[in-house]
Amino acid sequence: MRMKRNKTSLSIFDKITKDHILMGTLYQKKDKIILIIFLFMISFCVFAQNEKLTFSPQWLPQAQFAGYYVAMDQGFYKDEGLDVTIIHPSASASAFDYLKKGKADVISSFLMDGIKQRAKGVPLVNIGQLSQHSALMMVTKKSSGISQLKDLNHKRLGIWNSGFDDIPIAMMRENNYQIELVRVLNTINLFLMDGVDALTVMYYNEYDQIINSGVNEDELNKFFFSGYGFDIPEDGWYCLESTYSEKKEALQKFIKATLKGWEYAAQHKDYTIHLVVSEMNKAHVACNKAHQSWMLDRMLDLIEPGNKNVEKGHLLEQDYYRAVNILKSRILSDYKDSDLLLENFYRPLAN
């Protein structure tokens, strides 16, 4: 039985040290001592100037977070004068836990989860929206005979135990379907073995895992929630209100450098995949390039506003209220209306 242990951290210090070594080779041996002292002083100055910022994505290393690794590796954060540390959540501590406990200054999270946390009273704010679309979907095997949404009525739908279930539940309630929800951890095996009739998946992740387990695309029926009026954006950036006040400028730079990282990733996919795979290897997470390439491409699709009237990095008002309404009417209770006003929830820091 698997006992997960996932911990990784990256420091800008690694990058600086590397540069020092490169420079060092340019100098003669006799100057070595002077040089080392000189460089040490410079390093010290750099540390002194750079503002420290800790970021936590909502999951283990994968291409979903490629832009952050690229921004780090390419020195985009350093260029903005930031000393960013990335910490990944574990089975025992989520990104929200890190945020609440002050271990992370800024985290990445789904919009729905961000709203739910705020409704529960966590004083967090959205400072920018990376993903503009929903990648959430359901798949069924064609052999199951389920080809339309209504065919799901009275069927078994596998769904994560950990969350992301608001939209499927909202969809069920809107259509008044009786669907048996079967909680699964995070694998697709029960679905592959026909233990459930349908499975909730992310298009960029589990869907491709199913394909990479030998099921062909044409053997599957796809139900994108975005196609049923639930195109709710996902990954966005959150920080505590206090952090927002204290580190506003640094957070602004963080978003700028991160978006630059994603742009660089879009133009240098091979390099990006290589970087992602090495991050995953460091974290001892199973990975392969084929799947990570798929995930990167899908993430890049999600970042593009497409037909939505919104700038990159910003949250569209309609999207926000659609999400709030889904949550308010079906799931949430006991919240303060003022907390969920857009102007209180959303404090845009993207340019």
Partner 1 sequence: MNNLLKMKKNSLSFKIISRILLACIALGLIIFSLYYYFTRSTIEEATRKDAISLAENSINKIEEIIKPAELIPTNLAWIIETGSIQKDSILSFLTKLVKNNPAIYASAIAFEPYSFSAGQKFYAPYAFRNGPRIETTILGSDEYNYFIMDWYQIPATLKQPYWSEPYYDEGGAGALLSTYSVPFYMNKNGQRVLGGIITIDISLTWLTEIVNSVKIFETGYAFLISRNGVFVTYPDSSFIMNESVFSLAKEQNMPELREIGRSMIKGESNLTSVNDPEKGKVWIYYARLPSTKWSLGVVYPHNEMYASLRKLNMLILLLSLAGLGVLVFFTIGIIKRLLSPLTKFSKSARVIAEGNFNAELPRIKSNDEMKELHDSFEFMQKELADYITNLKETTSAKEKIESELRIAKEIQMGMIPHIFPPFPTLKEIDLFASLESAKEVGGDLYDFFLVDKNHLCFAIGDVSGKGIPASLFMAVTRTLLRSVADNKKSTAEIVGSISKTLALNNESNMFVTFFLGILNIRTGELKYCNAGHNPPVLIKNKRDAEYFKITKAIPIGLFEDFTYTEESMVVEFNDQIFLYTDGLTEAEDANNNLFGNDRLLAVLHKNAEANPKLLIDETKKEVSRHVNGFAQSDDLTMMSIIYYGGKPEK
267 touches partner 1 (CB under 8 A): no
Q: Which residue in the set 175, 213, 325, 329 belongs to the binding site for partner 1 (CB under 8 A)?
A: 213
2 touches partner 1 (CB under 8 A): yes
Question: DSSP string of 187-200?
Answer: -SHHHHTTSSSEEE
- Bridge partners of 83, per DSSP, are 52
What residues contact residue 269 under an 8 Å CB cut-off, 6+ apart?
A: 293, 296, 297
341 touches partner 1 (CB under 8 A): no
92 touches partner 1 (CB under 8 A): yes
Listed residue (222, 232, 196, 234) closest to 110, CA to CA: 234
Q: Which residue in the set 149, 190, 310, 316 belongs to the binding site for partner 1 (CB under 8 A)?
A: 190
Residue 17 or residue 161: which is nearer to partner 1 going by CB? 161
| Tokens standing for residue 149 | 């949404």
Give Cα 99 to chain centroid, integer Å: 15
| Tokens standing for residue 3 | 């006992």
164: helix, strand or coil: coil
State how far the Cα of 299 lies from the Cα of 66, in Å rounded to an integer: 9
214 touches partner 1 (CB under 8 A): yes
State how far the Cα of 220 lies from the Cα of 190, in Å rounded to an integer: 15
Closest approach of Cβ 242 to partner 1, in Å?
Answer: 29
242 touches partner 1 (CB under 8 A): no
283 touches partner 1 (CB under 8 A): no
Closest approach of Cβ 282 to partner 1, in Å?
Answer: 13
Total residues interacting with partner 1, rule: CB under 8 A: 29
Q: Which residue in the set 161, 245, 318, 329 belongs to the binding site for partner 1 (CB under 8 A)?
A: 161
Residue 52 or residue 289: which is nearer to partner 1 going by CB? 289
Closest approach of Cβ 343 to partner 1, in Å?
Answer: 37
What residues contact residue 240 under an 8 Å CB cut-off, 6+ apart?
A: 99, 100, 102, 122, 123, 124, 125
Q: Which residue in the set 25, 28, 176, 216 belongs to the binding site for partner 1 (CB under 8 A)?
A: 216
Number of H helices, E strands in the chain: 15, 11
- The residue type found at 45 is C
Q: Which residue in the set 11, 17, 189, 325 belongs to the binding site for partner 1 (CB under 8 A)?
A: 189
Q: Which residue in the set 23, 36, 290, 341 belongs to the binding site for partner 1 (CB under 8 A)?
A: 290
Q: Which residue in the set 23, 36, 37, 91 belongs to the binding site for partner 1 (CB under 8 A)?
A: 91
| Tokens standing for residue 57 | 């994505």
Residues that bind partner 1 (CB under 8 A): 1-3, 5, 91-92, 161, 182-185, 187, 189-190, 192-193, 195, 211-214, 216, 284, 286-291
